[in-house]
Amino acid sequence: MSTEDRIALVTGGGSGLGRAAALALLEQGWSVALTGRRETLLKETADLANVPASRVLVAPADITDPTAVADLFTAVQRYFGRLDLLFNNAGAAVPRCPIEDIRVEDWNRALDTLVTGAFLCAQQAFRVMRAQSPGGGRIINMGAPSAHAPRPNAIAYTTAKHALLGLTRALSLDGRAHGIACGQIDVGNVTPPDGSGQPAARQADGTLAVEQTIPAERFTEALVLMASMPLDTNIQFLGVFPTTMPFVGRG
């Protein structure tokens, strides 16, 4: 299947790396459905793409709501007729603080968005990809270095990303019989899109340090590589980090 015939759904597509991913896929010829909570930002992404309306769908949804997710995938099927790629990118901003100070609401928000939301979207994607013709497709989950090694005072985020790692592995296994590939991309420090400097990050020894960043293009290049593979090939895990970022052995 040529790139021009492929359909992607990007969650969290209204800002940050979700927007960067959507624009990169559109530039490569994909058609893209954009979802997230804020319709205004999704429309901004669509406008930035400067592509025909037939190639982009703005479909706001709360991915933590099972009914909203089911309606989202119905809308994608009606608009495009199929789905070839789900990029589970939606994130949740959770304050970093010692475990004794974290609020249950913040814990729940991290798990609901990063894990339950990704599961609900993957579940619907499986249903669509198994039934369509030609069958199959790909799911890429947005991981993080914290899926493998934590930072201090980030227990909710770290736990959620570790759970997402397990989800990726389970989806990869369960998708084999149906031509559904699943991988995970773990992205390190990316230069803020507004050009501001990278804030200092807490290190394992308690000190603060400003770490190296990479431009968002390094991330989108890696994502497009994963997305463009034929379904007989899966990039299971791909990590994209600044060369000097303290990840390996950062504990």
Q: How confident is the model over 29-43, as pLDDT tens digits?
A: 999 999 999 999 999
pTM: 0.95
Is residue 194 scored above 90 in pLDDT?
no
Catalytic: 157?
A: yes
Share of the chain above pLDDT 70, in %: 96
CATH code of 3-240, in short, is 3.40.50.720
Is residue 180 scored above 80 in pLDDT?
yes
For residue 161, the model assigns a pLDDT of 97
> Could you say which of 157, 219, 237, 241 is catalytic?
157
- More confident call, 204 vs 11: 11
For residues 232 and 244, give the distance between their C-alpha atoms in angstroms, rounded to a whole number.
34
> What residues have CB less than 8 Å from 64, skipping those under 6 apart?
112, 113, 116, 117, 120
Q: Report pLDDT digits (tens) over 84-96.
A: 999 999 999 889 9
> What residues have CB less than 8 Å from 194, skipping those under 6 apart?
none
